[in-house]
Chains A and B, each alone.
Chain A
């Protein structure tokens, strides 16, 4: 039962994210636009590039969707409303998101096109930048909860949300999450300005529809993860738990979609340099600080 409910919530979340993204990109709020775009994509001709690596070309979008769905499996909507409450949920989320990289490399290599390939390998560089910044803040979150279970992580924030308890980790996690979902200003693999769509360039029709859906699932999963790790998950007064999770997730997704659009696009070597020189030092400091606070003040 909870699988059906979570998937239904995910579908609604994806649709809302698509509406928000359309609003942020085109400047017009339209509840119908995502549905019309999806129908248009499904009805369009599916062009196959010349001499593709057919296996990779077809597998890329599906693997991306599977990675997104698996990462949603460990995000709790309310107590008991979770697909699988693994004891190592936070690690599982990481493992699922690691396959986003594999999917992008496959989709970049598959079509035998220059723009797609550059986009795919660029994402590998981007991954090297964000990989540590997504794992190390989660380490600090798990340290406070003394557990890798996402449910335990939410419960550990009953007295104080992690966004206040470990703000450095929160900022680093959000920057890394923007990298995972290639949202602006870190949308290098699809880079509208210079790559003409990058990894998406050679995809058309139903394949592109699957690809865009998968990307929406990943945005929702990352927003859900941010809410679980930093905004106390389902915790909140008056409303039922699932409503709090839904509200917070949509708010985080809307913020992630809109804020980055006001910043200039980061080049990947700059993202790499900042992530490694500044980001990892800050992430280590965050782990140290959280360790000291957890030892001294039991909150």
Chain B
């Protein structure tokens, strides 16, 4: 990998982490959700730098919609969505610190001990990548994707059921 892509990769990686930090540093729920969105967008940009066009664009597209939907849920369920009342977003600090520390150590162990094979010499073209992804999703990984889709559909129906206010006539 030449220097240019490595620099871009590092830039977007640091941007992803920085926006991730902003998620917890801001008091506003909407700012928090949008910061998480831009953190994920940076990850999508990292995919693009690594020439995984389809995955990168998909990541950038999906996150825009998902985080926006998450923002409205956060606004609906929090007492102080604008962060004007100086509500503290953090809690269980000691437990979180420990869990975060263990996660960091585990990630570092995996990074240092895994046998990385180095960057592939030849990246297939974007259209070829899309074709290979399609074959993968409709072949070996079909069951995983279908079961995930079913779970998401169940969650959507359940969320709608919870959100709909019960009518007078439905009550016993």
Contact = CB atoms under 8 A, between A and B. Distances in A.
Q: Which 7 A-B pairs have the closest CB atoms?
A: A95-B61, A87-B126, A98-B64, A87-B127, A95-B57, A109-B30, A98-B61
Interface stretch (A39-47, A99-107, A285-293): A99-107
Interface of A: 51, 53, 55-56, 86-88, 91-92, 94-95, 98-99, 101-102, 105-106, 109, 112, 121, 124, 127-128, 131, 147-149
B53 A87 contact: yes
B129 to A, nearest CB: 8
Instruction: Give the interface centre of B53, B57, B84 by most chain A CB atoms within 10 Å.
Output: B57
Contact of A127 (B54, B65, B71, B125): B65
A121 B17 CA distance: 28
Interface in B58-92: 58, 60-61, 64-65, 67-69, 71-72, 82, 84
Interface of B: 28, 30-31, 34, 37, 53-54, 57-58, 60-61, 64-65, 67-69, 71-72, 82, 84, 125-127, 130
Contact of A53 (B31, B37, B69, B126): B31
Contacts of A91: 54, 57-58, 61
A279 B37 CA distance: 28
Contacts, number: 65
Contacts of B28: 53
A124 B68 contact: yes
Contact of B126 (A55, A88, A99, A112): A88
A86 B57 CA distance: 11
Contacts of B71: 105
Nearest to A109: B30
Contact of A124 (B31, B53, B72, B126): B72
Nearest to B81: A109
A106 B34 contact: yes
A148 B34 contact: no
Given A53-B30, A102-B37, A88 B68 contact: no
A109 B54 CA distance: 31
Contacts of A92: 57
B57 A102 contact: no
Given A87-B126, A106-B34, A95 B53 contact: no
A95 B61 CA distance: 4
A128 B126 CA distance: 29
Nearest to A147: B127
A169 B71 CA distance: 31
A68 B30 CA distance: 23
A87 to B, nearest CB: 4
B68 A102 contact: yes
Given A88-B127, A98-B61, A147-B127, 17 more contacts: A51-B84, A56-B31, A86-B53, A87-B53, A87-B125, A88-B54, A88-B130, A91-B58, A95-B64, A99-B64, A102-B34, A105-B34, A105-B68, A105-B71, A124-B68, A148-B127, A148-B130
21 contacts: A51-B84, A53-B31, A56-B30, A56-B34, A86-B126, A87-B53, A87-B130, A94-B61, A95-B58, A95-B60, A95-B64, A101-B68, A102-B37, A102-B67, A102-B68, A105-B68, A105-B71, A106-B34, A124-B72, A127-B65, A149-B127
B38 to A, nearest CB: 9
Nearest to A131: B65
Instruction: Give the interface centre of A53, A88, A106, A124 by most chain B CB atoms within 10 Å.
Output: A88
A294 to B, nearest CB: 15
A180 to B, nearest CB: 12
